[in-house]
Each structure stands twice: as structure tokens, then as C-alpha cells.
Amino acid sequence: MRTLMMLVVLTCIGAIVYGNFHWNAKLSSAMDQEYVSTSADTNPSNTDEKVVENKEELSEQDFGEIPLEVSEFLIEKQNKGEVVELVIIGSEVNELSDNKWSKLFKEEMETTYEGLFNITVNAIPGEVTTADVVNEGLYLENLVTKPDIVILEPFLLESNGLIIIEHTLQNISTMIDGLKEKNPELFVFLQPGQPLRNATYYPMDVDELKTWSAENGYPYINHWESWPKEPDEVSKYIVNDDILPNEEGHKIWAEHLIQYFIGETKN
């Protein structure tokens, strides 16, 4: 009898232990399934998670005639999310109009490459020669940023007849050296001022600037190619009895630079 009772007790204990083990196993399995489900909900695939914050990536084909090293630099700046500081330096003609070329160019560049460029203009007032600009440090005035790119219109017209071209070119070299002290990796583009009707010696100086630019490795923006060749035709784009470009002249100037930097406009 005692033996029978002992067997009954052992059987009951075994049933309790087995039931508890089975319950814990089911509970653990349920918890594992819940964890897997929760993990899947909170860790979606990379394809679903990634949000493209940058604008469409640029390539060399998104620029006009600028040198390859410049376009590669611009692409790198965009990839890093950095702004390119572009400064236009030149005579007051660059700002003497409501619809000046610098304004038209700036608007097109900032629209096409939204957020990539910060463009400022340093137009030096008065009839200053290259010697004035260098001796008084005028080309560095209002230069509050460290420029990445400078478009320099180097006061040839104001210097013509007052300073021989050899000295003018030396002054231009001094300007560039001073600008590169701000940024040794600076890209410098050179361009002439506006053409004149019936000028003789001024075009010769412009040709010298073009040659000097090529010899020293500076890109030369020859916007004169876009202006009429005949003096009577040029007159249509110059303010009457003056040497300043009118609104149509500024438009020609701007369109050439837009084509040079952008190519066919994207808008």
C-alpha cells in the first residue's frame, strides 16, 4: 500500500514538472516570435528607409565650356554639400544697369545650380587703372569671403592709353597673386570689358590679354565673340554717345557667360 502511494505521488510530481516545462517552452517561443516581428517593423529595408536629401547629382555634362578640373571641383563641392564662393571683380560697368550682365548671370547660375553657388560682385567705381587697383588694393575691397572662383575683368579699358600693356599685364599678375593669398587653390577666369565702336588700340590690348591668359594657364572668357563685328552694329548695343553697354549689350554679355558656364540652359 505504501509503495502504491509512493508511485502516485511521484507520478503527480512528474506531471507537474512536465507541465511547467511545456508552458515555459511555449511562452519562450511566443516571446521569440514577438521579438522577430517587432524587429522587422522597426528595421525596414535600406531601400524603404533611405531618403534622398541631395539634389540631382551633377556630372561634367551639366556644365558648358569650363575646364574639366573646374567641373570636377564643382561636383566634389556638391557631393560634400558645400557652397562654391564665386566672385566677379571688375570695373563699375559690371553694375551700371538695372539689368546688368552680372545680375542676369547670377540669377541663371543660382537657378540652374540651386544652392551650389554664392555669387558676389565687386565692381570698383570710377575710372581706375590697373595701377590704381593694385596700389590701393581695390580688388581686395569688400572681399568678405574666401573665393573659390574669381571672374576678373581687369580694367583694360581704363588703362588703355595711360599704362603700357606690359605694365598692365604685370599688374594683373599682381592682382591674381594677391587673390591666391586668400585661397591658393583659387580658379581665376579672365575676361575683357565691353567692346567699343571704332576703337584702335584697345582691341590690341584685349588680344594681348587673351594671349597672356593662354600662356599663363588662365581660362579666357571671350564674350566679344558674341558681339557684332561691324562698328555700326556694335553701336546698337552701346548707350548713345557713351562707351557703356545698354540693356541689350548687357544681355549679350550675360548670355555668353551663361553659355560658357552652363551650356544650354536647363530651364
Cell of 55: 539634389
- Does position 2 have pLDDT exceeding 80, yes or no? no
Cα–Cα distance for residue pair 226/248, rounded to 1 Å: 12
Cβ(169)–Cβ(216) below 8 Å: no
- Does position 44 have pLDDT exceeding 90, yes or no? no
Cα–Cα distance for residue pair 100/96, rounded to 1 Å: 7
Cα–Cα distance for residue pair 147/85, rounded to 1 Å: 5
What are the strands, taking DSSP E only, across 18-146?
A: 84-91, 117-124
Band (265; pLDDT cuts 50, 70, 90): low
C-alpha dist (Å) from residue 43 to 29, 30, 40, 48: 21, 20, 5, 10
pLDDT tens readout for residues 96-140: 778 899 999 999 999 999 999 999 999 999 999 999 999 999 999
pLDDT tens readout for residues 50-72: 333 446 788 888 899 999 999 99
Domains of the chain, each with CATH number or no CATH: 83-262 (3.40.50.1110)
Among residues of the chain, what percentage have pLDDT more than 70? 78
Q: Among the listed ranges 124-138, 173-187, 228-242, which one has the minimum average pLDDT value?
A: 228-242
- Does position 84 have pLDDT exceeding 50, yes or no? yes
- Read off the pTM: 0.78
Supply φ then ψ for residue 97, to 5 degrees: -175, 150
What is the pLDDT, as a whole number, of residue 55? 61
What is the pLDDT, as a whole number, of residue 43? 41
C-alpha dist (Å) from residue 82 to 107, 117, 143, 148, 215: 19, 9, 19, 11, 32
Band (147; pLDDT cuts 50, 70, 90): very high
Cα–Cα distance for residue pair 256/264, rounded to 1 Å: 11
- Does position 198 have pLDDT exceeding 60, yes or no? yes
Can you give the length of the chain in residues?
Answer: 267
Cβ atoms within 10 Å, residue 216? 13
Q: What angle do CA 211, 245, 108 make, to 5 degrees?
A: 80
What is the pLDDT, as a whole number, of residue 135? 97
Mean pLDDT of the chain: 83
What is the pLDDT, as a whole number, of residue 15? 46
